[in-house]
Each structure stands twice: as structure tokens, then as C-alpha cells.
Structure 1
């Protein structure tokens, strides 16, 4: 049996227009799925010049995930959904997240929108006996000194994974998560473009290298596949051993 064959399956990757989400989108596309992605820009063409954004073969819709009414009002261009991946993310630096309004903005994107997306597609996923994958971060396992909202939201995403896994198992939906470590994407440029900061980060990773976005994609395929049929409510760190 080809456990990683997703032919005939429909997948939605929220935040699938760049970085880890884009790599996850292409992992499912290469496995035969019809893949839809949500991003923040008006059209897929608006990502053409971005490194880490390959929109070929993907079906694109614009969505502001902090607008929960827009999520609820969305009319999907598909009649069924087998896999929902929530990979949206926001981090703001220079201690901006210590301001209440900014804290709320980050938490709305990184945590509250996960619940809004999951609720929106619950019935489709239940009908398909499908899978939800929430992408958090290994930041949930340690302090991120300058980013309280990012840390709190990613820690909350792990808790939401457990609770939805428990609550929705009776509906036939498996909910699990991925916690990436330091992955080479646009979002981590604040570290990867700073040689001193990067060297210090790599010292804490036993494998002594950055993660690659496609390595998150293969874990997503596993979690959505029959190989993970008895895994529920778990968040898998994918970080080269950084939290050992």
C-alpha cells in the first residue's frame, strides 16, 4: 500500500504561500493531492519575486486570517476537504510585542485564527474522516525573551492541538501538530542574516544546521497519512535535536 499517495485528496494549507507552508503545500501536491492555499496578497502572481514562494500548481485565495468574520463567510471552491494545515504565523521584533495592541495582533494570527479555521472546516473534515495539522514552534518549549506574544501563541497552539485532538476524535478527525525549530525561511532572517546570532543558535542544535522547509513537509505528509492513524493530539518537534 502506498501510504503517502494523496491522489484524490483535497488539502488546504493556510499560510501556504511562502516558507514552511509553501513547502508543505508542494509536499502534498507532489503526493498527488489537489492543494489550495491561503495567503495575504491579492493574487498568486504577487509572490513571483519572493524566494521560498513557488505557487505553481497551487490554487490560491487571499485571506486575512485575523478577520474571523471573513473566514466564516468564505465560500470554498471545493466540496470536500481531507487535510487542513494551519501554518499561518506572525512575529514582530524590537520588543513591539510587549505592547498590548501588538500582542493581540500576533495572538490573533498565530492562535485565535487556528480555531477559526478549524471551526470553519470541521464539518467537511468530519465527513472525510480527515486530518488537521497545526504548525506551532519549538519556541513553545523555552523562553523567547523579546517575543512574548509569539511564545504565548505558539504554546497555545500546542495546547489547542491536544484539546481538539481529544474533542474531535469522536468525529473521526485526527488533530496533530508540528513544532519546527530554526528553519531557513524569510521569517528567520533576523537570525540567519546575523552571523554571530546564527553561530550561537547552531551551537544549541546537535545536528549543527538549520532545518529546511521541505523537512517540515515530509512530517506533514506522515501525520496526514495512514501511517499516523493512531497518533492523536501530539505536536512533533522537528528541530535537529534543539530541545533535547
Structure 2
């Protein structure tokens, strides 16, 4: 029996793949034989460090500011075929910055509007390959996050976008699904994970009693992009150790 998780010969693009969850997903696809390209906000791969959760060796890196719609439209990929597109970009503003309209708009632009912009930018390439689109949202889509209205609204919107694009693009041979991570130890969650008291409280709410890892999210991504999930569309897989049970 063929290895259903062998991506040899496949081309994968992870937007937001320079660090954190996106980088973990990119490395997992590379380990399974895929050619993997990632996009990040900095000028070059050398501008990232392992301390930030970045491992870019063996990945083709390009700068892309997803808050700029024109930059997405004009983006020139280094490949002429695309089998899997993972949209893992994300932004959050703490200290009630999302209650100010500039902050609210900035987070919505990155976390929601850029998803649609990137998806439509690569729609034709995914159609040609009968490819897979995976949208990374958050368990925040399923409960209130009192201090972050834009983050919450954008992640809730991402789940709805996943459903709708899945229905709209199924006839094009594109399978669209999503992943809703729980509390994953990345630079975006340091406000919790680096605070012992907050971390202890968070772990008490997770039945598995541990934080998620980028590798945990990568396992779900490999599944959703593989033939193992060939009859699944429009679903957002919650990967949270039981946090929102």
C-alpha cells in the first residue's frame, strides 16, 4: 500500500511559514518529500532566528506583506505548479489595541481579508493541480476573547470563509479545509506562556495538560492535504488538546 502521507513531487506554499505554526507545517511537508516555499514579512530568511521558532533551512523564502492587497496580487511565485496552499498568517494586538479602529482594521486585514486575497491569487494554480487549501484559524472562533475583538472576529470569519470556499470551489477540484489551533507555544502566545501564573491557569483548562506545538498542527495539515481526507471539505479541525470541550 502506498504511503498516503508521501508528498514527494508536490509543491507546497505556506503563507506565514517563517515561524510558529506555519513554520512547523512547512517543515513537516518538507520532511514528507515536498518542495516547500514560505512567505514572511521580513526581507530575507536570514532575518529570522531559531529562538523565534524559525527553521528555514531547505525552504524557499519570499517576502510578502499580506496586509498589502496589491503586493499579494503582484506576488511572483518561484514555482509554476501548486498542490497545497496553507494560509497561516496571523496578527494580534494586546493591551486593548484592537478596540482602537486602526488596530482593529490592521488585524482584520491580516487575519481575514488577506486569506481571501491569497486564496483567489492562487485559485487557478490549485484548480490545475486539483489541489488543497488549508486555512489556519483559531479556537477563538468558538468563544469570546474579551481583550481582542478583531482577533476573534477575524478567526470566526476564517471558519466561515473555509466553509464557503469549500462549497464554491469543490467543482474546481479544490478541497478547502481548516485547522483551529488551541494554545500553541509560539511568539504570538508569549503573553500567556511566558507568564507562569497565566500559563498555570491555561494548562488547568486543557484536558491533556500541555500546550500544543507547531508539530501537533502539522499533523493535522498533512492529513487534510492527503488522500486520507479526500472526502472531507469545508471542515475546520479543532486541534486544542480539549481546551474548548
Q: Distance in 1 between matches of 2:82 and 2:122?
A: 8
Deviation at 1:203, TM superposition (A): 1.3
Q: Distance in 2 between matches of 1:130 and 1:193?
A: 38
Deviations 1:84-120 (A, max 9, x none): 0000000000000001111010000000000000000
Report the count of equivalent residues. Answer: 244
Partner of residue 5, structure 2: 4
Alignment of 1:1-244 (within 5 A): 1-48=2-49, 50-244=51-245
Q: SS of 1:169's equivalent?
A: helix
Deviation at 1:50, TM superposition (A): 3.4
What is the TM-score normalised by the length of structure 2? 0.98
Q: Distance in 2 between matches of 1:25 and 1:62?
A: 16
Q: Distance in 2 between matches of 1:50 and 1:15?
A: 17
Q: Distance in 2 between matches of 1:48 and 1:93?
A: 23
Long gaps (5+) in structure 2 = none
Q: SS of 2:122's equivalent?
A: helix
Long gaps (5+) in structure 1 = none
Q: SS of 1:91's equivalent?
A: coil
Deviation at 1:49, TM superposition (A): 5.2
Deviation at 1:51, TM superposition (A): 3.1
Q: Distance in 1 between matches of 2:57 and 2:105?
A: 34
Deviation at 1:206, TM superposition (A): 0.6
Question: What stretches of structure 1 move > 6 A for 4+ residues in a row?
Answer: none
Q: Distance in 1 between matches of 2:23 and 2:33?
A: 16
Q: Distance in 1 between matches of 2:71 and 2:64?
A: 8
What is the TM-score normalised by the length of structure 1? 0.99
Deviation at 1:48, TM superposition (A): 3.0
Deviations 1:205-238 (A, max 9, x none): 1111101111101110000000000010000010
Q: SS of 2:209's equivalent?
A: coil
Q: Distance in 2 between matches of 1:18 and 1:142?
A: 26
Change (3 A) 1:157 1:123: same
